[in-house]
Amino acid sequence: MKEYPLIPRDISWLSFNHRVLQEAKDESLPLFERIKFLAIYSSNLDEFFRVRMANHRNLLRVGKKTKKELDISPKQTVRTIQRIVNRQQEEFSRIFEKKIIPELARHGIFLKRRLDLNEEELEFAESYFRENMLPYVQPVLLIKDMVRPFLNNAQIYLSILMKEKDSGKSATAIVKIPSDYLPRFIELPSRDGTRNLIMLDDMVRHSVSWMFPGYEIEDTYSIKLTRDAELYIDDEFSGDLLSKIKASLNRRSIGPASRFVYDRTMPENLLEYLQETFELERLDILAEGRYHNNFDFFKFPDFGRTKLQNPPQPPLVYPALEETEDFWGAIRERDHLIHFPYHSYESVVRFFEEASVDPSVTHIKIVQYRVAKKSRIMQALMRAVEAGKQVSVFIEVKARFDEEANLKWGERLEQAGVHVHYSFPGVKVHSKLALVRRIEDGKEAIYNYLSTGNFHEDTAKIYSDFGVFTADERLTSEVSRVFSFLENVKVPEAPFEHLLVGQFNLREGLVRLIDFEIAEAKAGRTAQMTLKMNSLQDPEMINKLYEASRAGVRINLIVRGICCLVPGQKGVSENIHGISIVDRYLEHARVFHFHHAGDDLVYFSSADFMTRNLSHRIETTFPIYDPDLKQKVITFMDIQLSDNTKARLLSDQQGNSYFRGGSDLSIRSQEETYHLIKRELVQEKLEAEEAADSPENQG
């Protein structure tokens, strides 16, 4: 079989994170938004090292026989990743020091270092140390061949070079920077109207001489250790999975090192001493700038400067569901499409709140993957039990970094009387489904909400997703069977005809849709598709798309994150055009549009084209049957494909160059989408008012 080009998954992910970093240096963005993108980049990278890099580091530790069976060289992969990350970290430092700090100063906001402090500020720093910092800094003298201190996961420390005042003998120490207890950015007193900040790191630097009174401080350098966070549970097929996850959560904070970062100005002899002290391998070590844990920039104070933030874009009311007196009748009448965060999330919340108090509702079912800490949806489910309804919640406890929160919600729901079903071994459930059963005129009626996003009121404000409310029996009957499988772990007897469901017909169904386009192209007819997703990694699907391109199918890809496919390669993928959009909102929706001989098949999905999604999860891909809604989705996709402001071209060079083609006008798809929806809502309101004022209705 011929080998076709594939970009390694993690190299592609690093390219995506570089697109995030690009936003931080985009001077057209408000200053505080650029600072926020520094935080997003850092948060992403931290998770990458805790999970993906930890996996590569563990592959380095396996035996020679196992290594021979791998398709990749773990050592070469680790080195390549480190080279790319080093380059990005240098760019991060340049953006922060040469762009962000001077721009803050132009707006009267000064980020000071300890040597910049005036007398009043020095007095404040000393007082702050005594009153707030002293209990938390935990100074430790490092003595060779003694018990080494434990470095907490993702906690920042200062490593200190110093000399004994009496003997002149060199010594090394570490001090904790207590950002887990105190704010990272501390405002200093000011008399001239400016806003002066100092980072907690520099407050600790200023204070180290008080912690080691018998020593002369020579210099300080920040360090941080990131620990392996992978739970290694996806492939376990037996045992008490729930207890294993709880045990793994307890171990997570003490896992092996996956990254040790240090200030790149640190002298080599100190780095070697720390490496020996903390038993680190050279491949564990990565240089960064003066500051670590830069995801703390999420908490950078805004001082009420709204002009330095994105202009408000309040979610738009969806009147058909939010303002109607007959909620269920509105869904019976037609399907409804909600596009978050442009639309308000109230329609989804009302779906559950209405069901919880409606005497005609007998059952409510939902799949919970990630959920808000303060969730009106979960509250509604517990109230529904009090009202005598049967409530069933499937909780996926393998949702990475949300396992603990999901377990806690599961316990609360169980205590309230909800029937809670947890993950079963070997399979992760990623579907975004909800079901309400009502008795209407003595008969059963089923209502569904199907989505590309989680039931999470907070992320619905910043993640771009689609959701559909429907009473279409073609869909409701099959969603009911998905829930039956989740609750009973019993394979449905009849095949799915409308839904594509992971573990049953998802991969085969997608291949069948692509094969149809291939056949059309070979017959000389129009053949095209637009595929929007978060990640594209599965080798079989990539080869299928290459096959489609070679057959003449025109393919548009909109891939936010990982894209292992290489577009535009002659003889392989010249009919594939790929873009990635990184902007104000996180593009989270999965949308698949197939020309299908002019029938225009449109699907929403919870699944990316990742092997894990297509082969190892319960995912749901569902069709949009309503012609008007289908056309709306196609319009939304066309707007994204025309984005020449925030779209980057996907290529094998991983250059992340901006797409500037198409219209002579500047098109920013997220802005265009919001204003399109707003115009449509205004038009619908005007038409409703005109209809109400018509002679027929005046009677």
3-state SS of 634-648 is HHHHHHHHCCCCCEE
Q: What's at 81, amino acid-wise? A: I
Which class is 319-493 in CATH?
alpha beta
pLDDT of residue 191: 85
Q: Confirm if 140 and 173 have CB atoms less than 8 A apart.
A: yes
Characterize the bridge pairing of strands 617-618 and 576-581. Answer: unpaired
**Residue 389 neighbours by CB under 8 Å, 6+ apart:** 355, 356, 361, 362, 363, 364
- Coil, helix or strand at residue 161: strand
- Radius of gyration over alpha carbons of the chain, in Å? 28
In CATH terms, the superfamily for domain 9-308 is Polyphosphate kinase middle domain (3.30.1840.10)
For the chain, which residues make up each domain, given as ranges? 9-308, 319-493, 501-686
Burial of 550 (0-12, 13-18, 19+ CB in 10 A): middle
Measure the CA–CA gap between 565 and 515, rounded to whole angstroms. Answer: 18
3-state secondary structure of 595: coil
Task: Write down the pTM of the prediction.
Answer: 0.91
Dist CA 662 CA 669 (whole Å): 13
Structure confidence at residue 58 (pLDDT): 64
Classify the C-alpha dihedral 678-680-684-686 as positive or negative: positive
Q: Which residues pair with 469 in a beta bridge?
A: 336, 449
For the chain, helix, strand, coil in percent to 5 are 40, 20, 35
As given in the structure block, the two tokens for residue 585 are 């909102």
Distance of CA 527 to the CA centre of its chain: 33
Q: Give the residues of the chain that fall short of pLDDT 50.
A: 231-239, 241, 245, 249, 252
Tokens of 380: 């509604």
Residue type present at position 690: E
Distance, in Å, from the CA atom of 228 to the CA atom of 263, rounded to the nearest integer, reads: 21
CA 178 – CA 387 distance, rounded (Å): 47
Write down the pLDDT at residue 239: 45
Alpha-carbon distance of 436 to 420, in angstroms, equals 16
pLDDT of residue 49: 84
- Count of residues making up the chain: 699
Q: What pLDDT, in 10s, does the model give residues 169-203?
A: 999 999 999 999 999 999 999 988 899 999 999 99
* Under 8 Å between Cβ of 638 and 667: no
Query: Which residues contact residue 44 at a Cβ distance below 8 angstroms, ignoring those fewer than 6 apart?
Result: 17, 20
CATH of domain 501-686: 3.30.870.10
∠ Cα 158 292 48 (to 5°): 130
Query: What tokens does 433 get?
Result: 């489904």
Gap between the Cα atoms of 607 and 614, Å rounded = 7
Nearest CA-CA partner of 435 in 365, 379, 380: 365
The residue type found at 227 is: R
Residues recognised as catalytic: 430
Answer yes or no: same fold for 9-308 and 319-493: no
Q: Which of 413, 385, 382 is closest to 397 using CA atoms?
A: 413
Q: Are strands 285-288 and 215-227 parallel, antiparallel or unpaired?
A: unpaired
